[in-house]
Amino acid sequence: MGGYGSGDPGFMTEAKKLFKDEKVVYIKVAKGGQPICRWLEEWQDIAKKNGLDENHIKRIHKGGKVEFYQPILDQYKEMV
C-alpha cells in the first residue's frame, strides 16, 4: 500500500481490479484542519442520527457551509 504522497493512495489497486476495463483516476485534495462538516452536506443529519445533541452540533458546525466536497466534484465534472 502506498503512503502519503506516494501516488497510490491504497485504494487504487483495488479500484483498478474492480473496474478492469475502465480508466480509474483519483483526485487528491488536502485541506488540513478542516472539520468533516465542511466537506459533507449530510453531516448534520448524520450527527443527529448518531445522538449528538443540537447544541453540540451547533458548536461544531458554527453556521459554516459545505465548502469543499461538492465544489471539487463540480470542478472535476467540468474537466471531463
Q: pLDDT grade, residue 2 (50/70/90)?
A: very low
Counting every residue written for the chain, the total comes to 80
Cell of 16: 483498478
Q: Give me the pLDDT at residue 9, please.
A: 58
Residue ranges of domains in the chain = 1-29, 31-79
Question: Does residue 27 surpass a pLDDT of 90?
Answer: no
More confident residue, 36 or 42: 42
CA separation, residue 64 to residues 31, 43, 70 (Å): 15, 11, 14
pTM exceeds cut of 0.85: no
Question: Does residue 50 surpass a pLDDT of 80?
Answer: yes
Question: Does residue 38 surpass a pLDDT of 90?
Answer: no
